[in-house]
């Protein structure tokens, strides 16, 4: 990721979350239900200060557009 890298508008992720909510309503999920999604966490390599290459959980990135570890979100 650097200069010249294509960017994805944040509206895309908001639209994804809206579609998720629409599908849940179609499935007759109760009105006061909450969807809680947890993203991935970084994983240390042995007992060092080095981590494995982190990859965000795909569905979490689809819904929130977050690539950093240790995040969670609700809708």
User: Count of CB atoms within 10 A of residue 24's CB?
Assistant: 14
pTM across the whole model = 0.75
Pair type for strands 72-74 and 36-38? antiparallel
**Higher pLDDT pick, 6 / 58:** 58
Domain boundaries, the chain: 10-74
Contact 74, 34 (CB under 8 A): yes
pLDDT of residue 1 exceeding 70, the answer is: no
Residue 33 in tokens: 């239900």
Residues 6+ apart with CB under 8 A from 8: 65
Three-state SS string across 8-29, please? CCHHHHHHHHHHHHHHHHHCCC
Over residues 7-59, the pLDDT tens digits come to 888 999 999 999 998 998 899 888 888 889 999 998 888 888 888 888 899 99
């Amino acid at each position: 990721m650097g200069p010249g890298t294509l960017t994805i508008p944040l509206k895309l992720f908001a639209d994804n979350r809206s579609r998720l909510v629409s599908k849940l309503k179609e499935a007759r999920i109760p009105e006061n239900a909450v969807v809680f999604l947890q993203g991935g966490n970084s994983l240390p390599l042995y007992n060092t200060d080095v981590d494995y290459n982190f990859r965000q959980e795909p569905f979490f990135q689809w819904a929130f557009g977050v690539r950093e570890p240790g995040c969670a979100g609700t809708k």
